Chain A
Amino acid sequence: MEKDLKTVLHAWHVEGGANMASFASYDMPLWYPSGARNEHLAVLTGAGLFDTTHMSILTVRGKMARLLLQYCFSKDLDTCLGPNRGPLLPGRCVYGVFLDTHGHVIDDSIVYQVTEDLYMAVVNAGMGGTIAAHLESHKKGPDPVISDLTDRIGKMDIQGPSSARILKKIIKDPDVVLQKMAYFSFKGWFAGNEPGVFRVELLDGTPVLVSRTGYTGEFGFELYVDISQTIRLWEMILAAGRAFNLIPCGLAARDSLRTGAVLPLSHQDIGHWPFVNNPWLFALAWDQTGQRFSKDFIGADALSRCKNQDYTLPFAGYDPRKINAGENSFVTDTNGIRIGTILTCTTDMSIGRAGQNVVSIATPETSGKPKDFAAKGLCCGFVKVTKPIAAGEEVILTDGKRKINVEIREDIRPDRTARWAIAKML
């Protein structure tokens, strides 16, 4: 067996007492001594810091960069911005997927427009080479130039309602940088002078890219620096965050947070099957009618012709009990008829039931959170089933021995902060 890769923060994680595990060929922290539960809760009540340096980062540079991405990426870069369907602009980024000709997902990604001719695509750990090769194979000439910068950039995510107040302590001119910073916008660059890019610096002058994104469903930022600055930035944030109850968080909390926020894990919830009938179709290039695609892109034909495909649906249970997603596990309807498989099954520790409703520790009492609410956590995740099932109906998860009833839902963890106006968070 090949040895797992390590991020530059690996030694820090081990010294910090993290429980480590293999994820996408990297030896990564699952949780630190504070435990996955506290880490998950910190991202709702204070802030959490995640090492995401294992993720792959590509740049696509040249006059043909946009055209190439328009053909390879599922989102229409010319109409993806806001309700008025504006084009992607420098300083804005967008979530989508790279599909193959069968409409299957190669990987999901956030594509950043940096300047007129420079784009950055952040894909999952270990996927940089695959996506770079995919883009290369669809180029019509030498332009654009595709570079895999994965090993040259340190990336970490600061997530939670205190994130902006912590970030303010470590960057220059924070008011200018953060003012009116919209969800899915970014400023700065991780290296020296990139012509035409607004420069954002840490207090000591280190260039940094600050992106108002993340994968927890909560308010926060993803930060990119030169790889040599990674540990320093990590420790800087931990020090500045101490007064705001920031703690380092591992992959277990990241998994439960993203599941509660109904975000897919690539190669688990989306993958080698057509990207249809799932909660993430907003990642496709729809025209104004929402019925047809607004551009030609790889996989579009296959998706348009898809018939009789499975349905991927979010669910939540009634207590923390789970069924491990695995080969021996399956989904039945309430009559016991087998109808599909479990893709993700985890516990969102910040939610519970108030009667039939799901409430979170962040739900205001005026919105139905009981006064004495103590979150015990609910099992939640995604199932892939052979027929459509309406939200509110139940299915049964089983490993052949144990059975638990869960409710199909449109959403899982209510009252998330990811889209809150930044003015409120400073």
Chain B
Amino acid sequence: MKEINELNLPEGLHYTKDHEWVRVDGDTAIVGISDYAQDQLGDIVYVEMPEVGNEFSQGEEFGTLESVKAVSETYLPLSGEIVEVNEALADAPELVNKDPYENWLVRIKPADLSELSALLSVDEYLDLLNG
């Protein structure tokens, strides 16, 4: 298990209490899970994705990650429409363990960027992890 100070938590991302991250990229945004989440889940063996075109509201479940032990839901950090899913994860779900930032889950078209204010900065996310 990684110590908190060993976690890779890049600056410039917005984190959620459920351990997802989102990065705004032009008029879309990329969503993934944090290093803490992948470390806690352990080996990820299956990623269940939504379909392109599906719409979700902020905090709504949009898919699942399966580790050897358990199934965990993933929640969308911002309301929006799915415009792309990371197809590489269908054949190689373990990529999420290797680098959870390079290997994002979905790209969305955010409905309302003001929702970012409800998310956590790196420092706030670290505070959450430190309890």
Contacts and interface: CB of A to CB of B under 8 A. Distances in A.
A282 to B, nearest CB: 28
A322 interface: yes
Nearest to A40: B68
A30 B42 CA distance: 9
A347 B1 contact: no
Main secondary structure of the interface of B (DSSP, over half): mixed
Contacts of B64: 402
B66 A36 contact: no
Nearest to B61: A401
B43 A320 contact: no
A36 B46 CA distance: 14
Interface string B38-77: 0110110110100000000000000010111111000000
A30 B43 contact: no
Contact of A324 (B40, B48, B71, B97): B71
A377 B94 CA distance: 12
Interface string A343-378: 000110100000000000000000000000000110
A31 B43 CA distance: 10
B71 A19 contact: no
A169 interface: no
Contacts of B42: 19, 30-31, 35-36, 252
A51 interface: no
A13 to B, nearest CB: 10
A252 B46 contact: no
B48 A321 contact: yes
Contacts of A38: 43
A242 B70 CA distance: 30
A36 B69 contact: yes
A208 interface: no
A269 interface: no
A346 B68 contact: yes
Interface string A279-310: 00000000000000000000000000000000
Given A19-B39, A377-B45, A321 B69 contact: no
Q: How large is the interface on B (under 10, 10 to 19, 20 to 34, 35 or more residues)?
A: 10 to 19
Contacts of A255: 69
Contact of B1 (A19, A320, A322, A402): A19
A38 B67 CA distance: 13
Contacts of B97: 35
Contact of B66 (A19, A20, A320): A320
Given A18-B1, A19-B1, A321-B48, A35 B43 contact: yes
A322 B71 CA distance: 7
Nearest to A321: B46
Interface in A5-52: 17-20, 30-31, 35-38, 40
Contacts of A399: 71
Contacts of B94: 37
B68 A349 contact: yes
A9 B69 CA distance: 23
Nearest to A401: B61
A246 interface: no
A333 interface: no
A18 B68 CA distance: 15
Contacts of B43: 31, 35-38, 349
A338 B45 CA distance: 28
Contact of A347 (B2, B45, B48): B45
Contacts of B1: 17-20
A380 to B, nearest CB: 11
A56 interface: no
Nearest to B45: A320
A31 B38 CA distance: 13
Given A19-B40, A20-B1, A320 B69 contact: no
Contacts of A376: 45
B69 A349 contact: no
B45 A37 contact: yes
A143 to B, nearest CB: 45
A74 interface: no
A319 B46 CA distance: 8
Interface string A252-271: 11011000000000000000
B68 A36 contact: yes
A31 B69 CA distance: 11
Given A19-B39, A319-B46, 19 more contacts: A17-B2, A31-B43, A35-B42, A35-B43, A36-B67, A252-B68, A252-B69, A255-B69, A321-B71, A322-B70, A322-B71, A346-B68, A347-B45, A347-B46, A347-B68, A349-B43, A349-B45, A349-B68, A399-B71
Interface of A: 17-20, 30-31, 35-38, 40, 252-253, 255-256, 319-324, 346-347, 349, 376-377, 399, 402
25 contacts: A17-B2, A18-B1, A19-B42, A20-B1, A31-B42, A35-B97, A36-B43, A36-B67, A37-B43, A37-B45, A37-B94, A253-B68, A255-B69, A320-B45, A320-B66, A321-B46, A324-B70, A324-B71, A347-B46, A347-B68, A349-B43, A349-B68, A376-B45, A377-B45, A399-B71
